[in-house]
Amino acid sequence: MNLLAISGSAFDSKTAFGKWRNLEMTTNYMSNYTYGTNAYDEIPEVAKPYGIKKVVFIGGKRALAAAEPKARKALEGSEIEVTGSFVYGVDSTQTNIDRLVATPEVKEADAVFGFGGGKALDTAKMVADELDKVIFSFPTICSNCAAGTAIAVIYHDDGSFDRYGFPKAAKHLFIDTDVIAKAPVEYFWAGIGDALSKQPEVTHVSEGEDLTNTGALGVAIAKTVSEPLFKYGEQGMDDVKNDTPSKAVEEIALDILVSTGYASNLTNQKDFYYNSWHAHAFYNSTTAIKREGTYLHGQIVSFGVLVLFAYFHEEEEFKKYQEFNKRIGLPVTLGELGLSQDDVEEITKGAMETNEYRNRPFDPEKFSEAIRRADELGKQLLEK
């Protein structure tokens, strides 16, 4: 388990009247976490300080099938009752959030247990936040860092990007590496793709900023994220294909769910936002483009990372990430995402409307050129 809580207050020196004037208070809550093949066994002990007597399960259909029996077994003999179990839907939409918020069994619970990947956990976090309930996260896949973040991606009912929500982070993550190792490998793969964005995005968007302690800590953690992906990613994928909860699987899961999650929370503050930039602007924009096929969040983001490096003309880093993408099957061209250079102007236009662009604008023409350049270099790589 690990707890990091940062609380700080800023105030001026004594005024001429000898009084103190409290200017501001900021508290950041960072999720505790338990990991291992028997992580769920800790649920009753972890829940005790919160006075939890009733919980509701919310998650994806496959996630609940994989993890609910194990969670229920861990609760046997405890004082915790499960009021119900609900599939969240397909996307993390306001429609699904509203439906669950209005559900009696959800209202009755003291806490929400969220099971699944990004969309399921984002939905569960938003539901818990709207009802002011404690939430525990049970990531059954590590396709992104949603399990431990205080941010949620909300979609329109048609699947296009709507907005970011800012719920409270989960009080605790239960990372069962056996469950994660037995999940479909494509989610593990996509999680690597999403995590590849954290270090370059945070590093670039925070460059030249006068970093606060919180911001600097977030940036420092972000700078630790990429290396474990390069070191353990390929072995981890092989082990997931063989349903083996290995050291490589554990290291990748912790890198994605904990390190990336902590970095996200610390770089996403009310007075600054360093959490994402070009790669996620690219992703968010492409959700509005109708095309054949289904593409995972991290799959798309991983190409957005190449766009970022092309934008800044960082050839060495571009090549390193591009070659890694190719080795593990992540995209290096637009075509692998059902897109083409004909879509570039629409992608750029959409990117200008994203939270990433509003927080730190970038040059639209350079962004378009970076997309084209990344695609062209990817085609050249695939021809070798």
Please give the single-letter amino acid code of residue 303.
F
Q: Is 156 annotated as belonging to a binding site?
A: no
Residue 73 tokens, joined: 């077994």
* Strands 54-59 and 32-36, sheet pairing: unpaired
Q: Is 98 annotated as belonging to a binding site?
A: no
For residue 352, give the nearest of 284, 257, 289 by alpha carbon: 284
Q: Is 313 annotated as belonging to a binding site?
A: no
* Strands 161-165 and 272-273, sheet pairing: unpaired
For residue 301, give the nearest of 173, 143, 147 by alpha carbon: 143
Q: Is 321 annotated as belonging to a binding site?
A: no
Q: Is 143 annotated as belonging to a binding site?
A: yes
Residue 374 tokens, joined: 């990344």
What are the strands of the beta sheet with 81-87, ordered from one edge? 32-36, 172-176, 134-139, 111-116, 54-59, 81-87
Q: Is 118 annotated as belonging to a binding site?
A: yes
Q: Is 155 annotated as belonging to a binding site?
A: yes
Q: Which residue bears the tokens 């479909």? A: 184
Count CB atoms within 10 A of the CB of residue 345: 12
Count the helices and strands in the chain (H runs, E runs).
18, 12
- Judge contact between 33 and 171, C-beta under 8 A: no
Q: Is 12 annotated as belonging to a binding site?
A: no
Query: What CA dihedral angle connects 101, 102, 108 and 111, to 10 degrees?
Result: -10
Residue 259 tokens, joined: 């390190």
Q: Is 149 annotated as belonging to a binding site?
A: yes
Q: Is 145 annotated as belonging to a binding site?
A: no
Cα-flanking dihedrals φ and ψ of residue 83, to 5°?
-80, -25
140's torsion region: left (phi>0), alpha (psi -120 to 50) or beta? alpha
Q: Which residue bears the tokens 């798309």? A: 300
Q: Is 204 annotated as belonging to a binding site?
A: no
- Judge contact between 56 and 112, C-beta under 8 A: yes
Helix pair 278-286, 297-311: axis angle to 10 deg: 130
Residue 310 tokens, joined: 């092309």
Q: Is 243 annotated as belonging to a binding site?
A: no
Binding region for NAD(+):
118-122, 140-143, 149, 155
Residues of each annotated binding site for glycerol = 194, 280, 297
Binding site feature residues: 118-122, 140-143, 149, 155, 194, 280, 297
